[in-house]
């Protein structure tokens, strides 16, 4: 059976399974794009359609995770409100810059970013702040806007890096950090989705099937993140970072 754009039913099923797993992982530690994008490329879909369809699927999943964390009152809205505009602006300039970089440069920058994230992840942080503790606007912007820039520049693992950055520099626990990245990640992706939709680059059978599965995975993943707390989230963060590092090293060596 063939669906739109010569995409077989088998591949749609694979996309659904991939979207579920990616949504689960992304809602806990970020990095869902590192799972979805390679699978979409393996199917033979052109890179521009891969990026467009992945963005739509990811936005749906991140939206669900945001709602789930908001209902559970785990999001630090004071951080989100201060950070959202700087992140959007930084993401825009990152997108402008990436047009001038070679693919090889981008791959090496991603590896460096992963290694730096690992250093911060395993380095002992200061005592966790309570939610009513005052955090300066400067600290919030400096710990989030550079990640927004990265999102526009490179993209993969943005949620992961944002979570680690909030933990390290704002001293929030991993659960609050993870929850607070979701509305920021959603905002930085919306612009891309609008552009891709208006350009007609989205393969809707792929985006919708993967996106709905991503929503379900995000719902379940955020539930377990809230239930498992900091220890569980840190384990998933380690898994995502190792996955990203290995994937990018393989890409450089073999492709």
Structure tokens at 169: 């520099």
Whether pLDDT at 125 is above 90:
no
- Render pLDDT for 171-223 as a digit per residue (tens, 0 to 9): 898 899 999 999 998 988 887 788 888 888 889 999 999 999 999 999 999 99
More confident residue, 61 or 113: 61
* HSE-CB of 143 using CA atoms within 13 angstroms: 25
| CA-wise closest residue to 156 among 254, 48, 33 | 33
Q: Three-class SS of residue 70?
A: helix
Residue 180 neighbours by CB under 8 Å, 6+ apart: 75, 76, 79, 80, 166, 172
In this prediction, residue 1 has a pLDDT band, given cuts at 50, 70 and 90, of very low
Cα–Cα distance list, 79 to 2, 104, 165, 181, 212 (Å): 46, 35, 12, 9, 29
Q: Distance between alpha carbon 170 and the CA centroid of its chain, in Å?
A: 19
Highest mean pLDDT among 24-33, 78-87, 111-120: 78-87
- Render pLDDT for 128-170 as a digit per residue (tens, 0 to 9): 554 555 789 999 999 999 998 888 777 767 888 899 899 989 9
Domain boundaries, the chain: 8-254
CA distance 181 to 83: 10
Q: What is the mean pLDDT of residues 60-81?
A: 94
Q: What is the mean pLDDT of residues 235-253?
A: 79
CA distance 55 to 63: 12
CA distance 227 to 166: 20
In this prediction, residue 255 has a pLDDT band, given cuts at 50, 70 and 90, of low
**Under 8 Å between Cβ of 233 and 175:** yes
Whether pLDDT at 58 is above 80:
yes
Q: 176-181 contacts: CB < 8 A, separation 24 or more? A: 176/74, 176/75, 176/76, 176/131, 178/28, 178/29, 178/30, 178/69, 178/74, 178/225, 178/233, 179/69, 179/70, 179/72, 179/74, 179/75, 179/76, 179/222, 180/75, 180/76, 180/79, 180/80, 181/30
């Amino acid at each position: 059976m063939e669906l739109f754009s010569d995409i077989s039913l088998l591949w749609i099923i694979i996309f659904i399974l991939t979207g579920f797993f990616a949504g689960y992982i992304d809602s806990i530690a970020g990095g869902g794009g590192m799972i979805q994008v390679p699978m979409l490329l393996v199917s033979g879909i052109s890179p521009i359609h891969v990026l467009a369809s992945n963005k739509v699927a990811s936005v749906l999943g991140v939206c669900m995770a945001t709602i789930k964390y908001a209902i559970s009152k785990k999001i630090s809205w004071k951080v989100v409100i201060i950070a959202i505009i700087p992140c959007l602006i930084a993401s825009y300039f990152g997108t402008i810059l990436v047009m001038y970089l070679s693919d090889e440069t981008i791959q090496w920058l991603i590896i460096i970013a992963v290694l730096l994230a690992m250093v911060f992840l395993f380095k002992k942080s200061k005592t966790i702040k309570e939610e009513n503790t005052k955090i300066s606007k400067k600290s919030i912007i400096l710990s989030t806007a550079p990640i927004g820039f990265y999102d526009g520049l490179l993209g993969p693992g943005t949620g992961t890096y944002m979570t680690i950055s909030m933990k390290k520099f704002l001293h929030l626990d991993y659960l609050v950090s993870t929850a607070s990245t979701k509305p920021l990640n959603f905002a930085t992706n919306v612009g891309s989705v609008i552009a891709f939709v208006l350009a007609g680059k989205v393969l809707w059978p792929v985006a919708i099937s993967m996106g709905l599965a991503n929503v379900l995975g995000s719902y379940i993943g955020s539930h377990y993140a809230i239930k498992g707390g900091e220890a569980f989230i840190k384990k998933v963060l380690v898994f995502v970072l190792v996955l990203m590092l290995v994937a990018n090293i393989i890409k450089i060596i073999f492709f």
